[in-house]
Amino acid sequence: MKNRGYYGAFGGAFLPEILVATFEELVKAFEEARQDPGFRREFEEIMTNYCGRPTPLTFAENLTKHFGGPRIYIKREDLNHTGAHKANNVMGQGLLVKRMGKSRVIAETGAGQHGVATATMAAKFGFQCTIYMGEKDVDRQRPNVFWMERLGADVVPVRDGSRILKDAINEAFRDWVGHMEDTHYVLGTACGPHPYPEMVSYFQSIIGMEARNQIMEQEGRLPTRVFACAGGGSNALGVFSGFPDDSIERVAVEAGGKGLESGRHAARIASKDGNIGVAQGYKSYFLQDSDGQMRETHSVAAGLDYVGVSPILAAMAKEGRVRFEAATDREVLEALTLTMNKEGVIPALESAHAFAQAFKEAPDLSGEDILLINQSGRGDKDIFTIADAYNDSAWGDFIRERADHYGA
Ligand SMILES: *Cc1c(COP(=O)(O)O)cnc(C)c1O
């Protein structure tokens, strides 16, 4: 197949020669697994009995009343094991690693959610595990580093480049080149060279499949609009896959950071700052300057703070099948506060981007409309960032006391 792994003009597999055979092995293993009903049964078994799926679809009665228009529903990926949608992909790839007979997994992580999910999977399946994490992220995501290490993973701080997610990805590829026989790279989102975008969105499509059945059961009709935050794009593709219908608007919400005009954001498609290019093994929109240098990105949500975006989402945007929007850090904190107070759920800062955009649009819609928001993860992981944003002085005192306890 000549156009394997291309979505319109986007995607592909731009690989160093040395990795070509390893990728062919992976493509073959994934294609065979996907055709095998036994593999699907194994995947569903672990999703049900280990991860706790299906996750609920919650009618947000108080938010619905608050806006006085559309009926608002929340898909609860925060209740998936390890607290986010990440485990769907990670467990799926773990089963594939078993099929390929490999014994070691490596992964990149930014906020640490994908690292924790991968370390969890490695513990469960008995694999050796190394997690690459930018040094800057190691410093700001200490609780997740703590859990990865307790779960038995080696966490390697990456000191190259800007010492964040994209640098961790480069380092993970470097490791893989040296250990192709026994190692699989568990990429965390629907980016990277073929087959990752397709494979990751395949495992994440369980979100959309469940959500469609649940909304049909509860409402007897489909939603008007479906909202998801978009970092690499895996939770968005997961939920959108359940709603391919022409009648439904799919809205992907990027990190607007300090505002699109400030240049300090991670909006590759919603802003004018993104360009089409090839980086990290695939073709898509990237935040890069005219000579291909990656720009610094900014978001209050570490999981959205990435220069690239899924080639599948890029193609859908080009075809007009996904509308891209951005929510600023400030809008996100407001949406988070409202959701906590009205519904008693704590969305992750990433997920709160989807809520913020839905709340911007809700006042213009009617009681006939249904909004579905994908809550990609839980927000209690963000306690340090959120406490900072709220300027919570009692929290500051608590941290100082803990520091004293450790003799700092
Ligand atoms: C990692 C993460 C994201 C961003 O990744 P996508 O691939 O865009 O889904 C969003 N929300 C949460 C909670 C995450 O952990």
Please write the tens of the pLDDT for every residue from 125-162.
999 999 999 998 898 889 999 999 999 999 999 999 88
Note the pLDDT tens digit of each residue in 188-243: 999 999 999 999 999 999 999 999 999 999 999 999 999 999 999 999 999 999 99
Structure token digits, residue 114 = 């994908």
DSSP codes of every residue in 289-340? -TTSPBPP---SSGGG--SB--HHHHHHHHTTSSEEEEEEHHHHHHHHHHHH
Say how many Å lie between the CA of residue 110 and the centre of ligand 1: 10
Half-sphere exposure of 402 (CA within 13 A, CB side): 6
Instruction: Report the pLDDT value the prediction gives residue 184, as an integer from 0 to 100.
Output: 98
Query: CA–CA separation, 88 vs 81, rounded Å?
Result: 9
Query: CA–CA separation, 350 vs 82, rounded Å?
Result: 15
Residues 6+ apart with CB under 8 A from 356: 253, 327, 331, 332, 334, 335
Give the ligand 1 atom nearest the CA of 83: 13
Determine the average pLDDT of the residues in 62-71.
Answer: 98
For residue 166, pLDDT over 50 is answered with yes
**CA-closest residue to ligand 1 atom 4:** 231
Give the ligand 1 atom nearest the CA of 238: 9
Q: Is 303 in the pocket of ligand 1 (CB under 6 A)?
A: yes
Least confident of 112-126, 320-334, 380-394: 380-394
Domains present along the chain, CATH in parentheses? 14-48+85-197 (3.40.50.1100), 54-83+205-388 (3.40.50.1100)
Task: Give the mutation target among 74, 75, 79, 85 for probing the ligand 1 site: most ligand atoms within 8 A of CB.
Answer: 85
Say how many Å lie between the CA of residue 232 and the centre of ligand 1: 7
**CA-closest residue to ligand 1 atom 10:** 350
Contact assessment for residue 256 and residue 265, using Cβ atoms and an 8 Å cutoff: yes
Sign of the dihedral defined by the CA atoms of residues 218, 360, 270, 86, in that order = negative
3-state secondary structure of 229: strand
Say how many Å lie between the CA of residue 408 and the centre of ligand 1: 34
**CA-closest residue to ligand 1 atom 15:** 113
Q: Is 377 in the pocket of ligand 1 (CB under 6 A)?
A: yes
Q: Is 271 in the pocket of ligand 1 (CB under 6 A)?
A: no
For residue 2, pLDDT over 70 is answered with no
**CA-closest residue to ligand 1 atom 2:** 303
Say how many Å lie between the CA of residue 350 and the centre of ligand 1: 6
Q: Is 86 in the pocket of ligand 1 (CB under 6 A)?
A: yes
* DSSP conformational letter for 71: E
Question: Which residues are tagged catalytic?
Answer: 86, 108, 376
Closest CA to 111 of 76, 142, 81: 142
Say how many Å lie between the CA of residue 80 and the centre of ligand 1: 13
Q: Is 232 in the pocket of ligand 1 (CB under 6 A)?
A: yes
Instruction: Report the pLDDT value the prediction gives residue 7, as an integer from 0 to 100.
Output: 98
For residue 52, pLDDT over 60 is answered with yes
Determine the average pLDDT of the residues in 92-100.
Answer: 98
Q: Is 113 in the pocket of ligand 1 (CB under 6 A)?
A: yes
Q: Is 235 in the pocket of ligand 1 (CB under 6 A)?
A: yes
Say how many Å lie between the CA of residue 303 and the centre of ligand 1: 5
Note the pLDDT tens digit of each residue in 229-269: 999 999 999 999 999 999 999 999 999 999 999 999 999 99
